[in-house]
């Protein structure tokens, strides 16, 4: 099991559709969930945001959401890393160089925001390849019936 600790607003500001949203925290959570960016549902996901909780409802999809309040999100992320026994299981998602360095010095892995969200581009390409019109699906099905069921020979 991996434990993703995500620098929330650092990620929000890298995704143009979310950055300009009126509900960026919720939209980010949905984006991560829909694109399965953290892999298996068994992986633990922490999203840490600077400041206080926003005034809108946040769906968490079993993720752990934390707002830092008066503390910085970076300090809260480091505290989370320090509390975990097996640091090799931790993946800190941030482009903040100082935070990434601090996390790595404790034994956690770091991936950049671009590497984290690049998985969505791969999925979009795969989905386009699978997109076959219904008429072509029917034609393929009929051809396979002829081949496999010997329908022409009867």
Name the residue ranges covered by the structural domains of the chain.
3-119
pLDDT confidence tier of residue 136, bands split at 50, 70 and 90 = confident
Which CATH number does the domain 3-119 belong to among 3.90.320.10, 3.40.50.1010, 2.20.25.90, 3.50.50.60? 3.40.50.1010
pTM of the model: 0.74
DSSP state of 93: E
Neighbours of 66 (CB within 10 A): 16
Q: Which residues does residue 142 pair with via DSSP β-bridges, in sequence order? A: none
Residue 80, C-beta contacts closer than 8 angstroms, at least 6 positions apart = 5, 46, 48
d(Cα 150, Cα 134) in Å, to the nearest integer? 23
Quick check: 120 and 37 in contact, CB under 8 A? yes
Output the pLDDT for position 16: 84
pLDDT confidence tier of residue 129, bands split at 50, 70 and 90 = low
Output the pLDDT for position 140: 81
pLDDT confidence tier of residue 80, bands split at 50, 70 and 90 = very high
């Amino acid at each position: 099991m991996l434990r993703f600790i995500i620098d929330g607003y650092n990620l929000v500001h890298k995704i143009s559709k979310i950055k300009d949203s009126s509900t960026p925290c919720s939209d980010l959570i949905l984006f991560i969930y829909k694109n399965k960016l953290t892999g298996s549902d068994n992986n633990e996901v922490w999203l840490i945001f600077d400041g206080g909780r926003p005034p809108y409802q946040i769906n968490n999809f079993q993720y752990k959401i934390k707002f830092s309040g008066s503390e910085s999100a970076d300090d809260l992320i480091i505290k989370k890393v320090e509390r975990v026994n097996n640091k090799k299981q931790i993946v800190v998602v941030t482009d903040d160089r100082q935070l990434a360095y601090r996390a790595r010095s404790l034994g956690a892995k770091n991936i950049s925001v671009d590497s984290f969200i690049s998985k969505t581009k791969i999925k979009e390409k795969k989905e386009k390849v699978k997109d076959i019109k219904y008429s072509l699906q029917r034609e393929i099905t009929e051809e396979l019936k002829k081949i496999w069921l010997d329908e022409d020979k009867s």
